[in-house]
Structure 1
Amino acid sequence: MASEGAQYEGTDWTKDGTADGTAGAAPASPGAAPESPEATGGSGNGDAQSADSSSSDPRTMDPKVAAAIAAAEAASPQGASTVRVDSWIWSVRLVKTRSMGATACRGGHVRVNGERVKPAHGVRVGDEVRLRHEGRERVVVVTRLIRKRVGPPVATQCYIDNSPPPPPR
């Protein structure tokens, strides 16, 4: 946690809560590029490039959600393009505990791109993860790699849910 406070050292804060007196600018989120829509909470500076990037996501992202995503992505090692599958399915709240995710992998209930995987298998952005859990199958496509467990609003930003509807009761 000490490293999170270190990122704001030397920043001049104004009364309106902006850094260096620039109105409308959000403080830089850890692990996110300053020009990305996640870092600015979905609001661009009006040029065509930022308008195109924000129009690709139909939902405008809440600044708190964007900050939480950036914090979760900052927890992963720099330059890592994969995350353990048991850790990822726990982080995005598909299972309650990481050990439940590892047990599901060992039992053959987790498939990545159609293949049964061990708990240490690495998932990448774009991989399809299938999980049989609690009587239903969840089919998700990875959109963000995180290692830290996050809240439900942030977790839904990390995958695309292609699961069939739950069975009727």
Structure 2
Amino acid sequence: MRIDKYLWCIRYFKTRNVATNAVKKGHVKVNGSTVKPSREIFPMDKIVIRKNQIDYQLVVLDIPESRVGAKLVDMYRKDTTPKEAFEHTELLKFAKDHYRKKGMGRPTKKDRRDIDGYLDESE
């Protein structure tokens, strides 16, 4: 089965077109090498998918006949993604809260004084 069809069948991508585009952009690697969407996959292949700043790591257990239900996905793949990958996204959420919101413009004098006061306290 083609890699793009497989990723669509096991519900990592909503449509087959989205899966094909992800493979073309190099977000999918099979056994450590970047592949084309037409690459055939076989059981025990190791797949790494870069999606939403997370590197999902999968092992192909079996090839489905067609798209499978969400409850049956685990029969066809084994997810070996480390927990640290998900913890990294949590840290990114906290880092984004620190920055000013888009459209707020430059800091005012009061904001600047608060920033300087914070920096002086930390030293």
What's the TM-score, normalizing by structure 1?
0.49
Aligned positions of 1:18-167 closer than 5 A: 83-165=1-83, 166=86, 167=89
The root-mean-square deviation of aligned C-alpha atoms, in Å, is: 1.1
Deviation at 1:147, TM superposition (A): 4.3
Find the aligned partners of 1:149 and 1:140 in 2 and give their Cα distance: 17
Gapped regions of structure 2 (runs ≥ 5): 94-123
Offset of 1:152 from its aligned partner?
1.0
- Structure 1 unaligned spans of 5+: 1-82
1:97 corresponds to which letter in structure 2? T
TM-score (norm 2): 0.67
Q: Deviation per CA, 1:75-94, whole angstroms, max 9, x where unpaired?
A: xxxxxxxx100000110011
Of Structure 1 and Structure 2, which has the larger fraction of its residues in helix?
Answer: 2
The total of aligned residue pairs comes to 87
Distance across 2 between alignment mates of 1:134 and 1:101: 14
